[in-house]
Amino acid sequence: MEAALIGFGILLLLIFLRVPIAFAMGAVGFVGFWHVRDSLPAAISTVADRFALLIQTESYDLSVLPMFVLMGNLVARAGLSHELYAAAQSFLGHRRGGLAMATVVACGGFAAVCGSSLATAATMAKVALPSMRRFGYRDTLATASIAAGGTLGILIPPSVIMVIYGLMTETSIRELFAAGFLPGFIGIVLYMLAVSWTVWRDPGAGPRTERMRWAQRLAALQGVWGVLALFALVLGGIYVKAFTTTEAAGIGACGALLFAMLRRIGWKAIYAVLIESARTSAVLFFILMGALIFSNFVNAAGLPEGLLRLIGGRGASAWAVILIILVIYVILGCVLESLSMILLTVPIFFPIVKGLAPELGIDPRWVLVWFGIIIVVVTEISLITPPVGLNVYVLSSVVPGLRTTTVFRGMVPFITVDIIRLGLLTVLPAISLWLPRLFYG
C-alpha cells in the first residue's frame, strides 16, 4: 500500500509539471509494478499483455470511442446547435430568464449527440451568448447557464466519459447509458430552477422576450428533427436491444454523416472532421492504455484493499465510506481536470465500492453502474467550480473580454442544485437504476 501511495504522489507531481497524463500514468504504473514484483521481465510482460489485450480482444468494444467522437464532431460541424437553441427559445424565451433556460435545454439536446462537455460549452457560447446579450441579460447569468448546461455533455448519453469508465471497470456501457438519462433530465430541470431563482432575486438579470405564436414554434421544431431522429435511433436501438452499443456507435456515426451531407457540408469539411476525430481518438486510446497500466500497479500494490481495511478498522459504515469518496472527488475537482480525476481515482475506488455492495443494499450487478453515475455527476461539478473549472475557462477562451470571475459569480445557484442532485442520486440509487433495470433487469 505504501508503494501505491508514493506512486500516486509521484503521478500527481508529474501531472502538475504538465507531463502528458498518458505518459505519466504509463511510466509510474510500469516502474511501480516493477518495484512491487521486483522483476523487470514481469513488468514488461504485464505491459505487453495489456497492450495485446486492448488490441486483440477489446478492439471491438474500443471502437465505441472513435465512432461516438466522430458522431459528435459531425453534428457540431453541421450547425445543429443553432436549430436546437432556436426551438428551445421559441417555447421558453417569453419567460423571465427564458433565454437562459432555453440555453440549458439546448445544451441537453446537443449533449445527446455530442458526448463532450467542453465541446457543448464552446459551441453553445457562440450560439446563445450573443442572443442573451442582445436582449440585455447579465453576463453572470448568461455565461453561467452555458457553462452549467455544458456539463450535461458527459452525463446525457452517449458520453465518452461513460465509455471510458465502462472499459476501465468492465461495466456494461449500455446500462451506463440507460442510467445516465434520468439524472441528466433531472439536471436540466434543476438548472432551469436555478435560473428561475436567479431572476426572482434579480429580475433585471434575465428580461422577457416576445412570445412566439404556435406556428412559429412548430416551424422551429422542424429544424431539430435531425437530432431527435439520431438520438432516438442510437439510444432507442440500444435500449430495445436492437443492436449493441458498438453497433449503435457505428450507426450513429453514419447517421451523423448523412445528416451533415444533407446540410450540404463540403467534402473538405468532412475530411477535416475525420482528421480531428482520429486525433482525438488516438489521444483517448493512449490515455486509456496508460490508465490500465497504472491500474495494474495500484491493484498489485494492494491500495484498494489497504484503504478498505484502514477505513473499516475505524468502524466506518459503507455509506460513510461513500461520503468520504465523494468528499475526495470534490476536493480533487478543485485542482484536477475531469478526465485526469476519473483516470486516477477509478482504479482505486471501484474495487472498494464493489466490495461494499451488500452493505449498501445494492445488487452487486448494479453497484458499479450506480457508482459510475455518481462519479460523472461529481465530475460535472468539478467542471464549473474554481479554480480549475474547465467549462468556465473554455467560455473565457471563446468569448473575447470575458473574465472568469464573472462566470464564477453566476455559478453559485447552479453548483447548489448540482450538490442537491448529487445527494439525491447518492441516497436514492433507484433514480439512476430504474431505467437499466427496466430494460436489462
Q: Which of 192-201, 223-232, 356-365 has the highest mean pLDDT?
A: 192-201
Name the DSSP class of 57.
T
Residue 182 predicted with pLDDT over 90: yes
Virtual torsion, Cα 82, 85, 90, 95, nearest 10 deg:
-150
Over pLDDT 70: what percentage of the chain?
92
What is the per-residue pLDDT across 19-56, written as a single tens digit (0 to 9) for each?
887 788 888 888 888 888 777 777 777 777 766 666 55
Write down the pLDDT at residue 436.
92
What is the per-residue pLDDT across 243-292, written as a single tens digit (0 to 9) for each?
888 888 888 888 888 878 877 778 888 888 889 888 888 887 777 778 77
Contact 347, 168 (CB under 8 A): yes
Rounded mean pLDDT of 189-198?
A: 96
The region of weakest confidence among 60-64, 292-296, 325-329 is 60-64
Write down the pLDDT at residue 337.
67
Contact 290, 23 (CB under 8 A): yes
Contact 147, 126 (CB under 8 A): no
Write down the pLDDT at residue 57.
47
Instruction: Provide the grid cell at 130.
Output: 450573443
Name the DSSP class of 102.
H
Contact 407, 144 (CB under 8 A): yes
Indicate the average pLDDT of the chain.
83
Residue 298 predicted with pLDDT over 80: no
Rounded mean pLDDT of 133-144?
A: 92
What is the per-residue pLDDT across 64-122, written as a single tens digit (0 to 9) for each?
778 888 887 887 777 777 788 888 888 888 888 999 999 999 888 887 777 677 778 88
Contact 242, 181 (CB under 8 A): no
Write down the pLDDT at residue 176.
92
Residue 218 predicted with pLDDT over 60: yes
Under the banding of pLDDT at 50, 70 and 90, the label for residue 412 is very high
pTM more than 0.75: yes
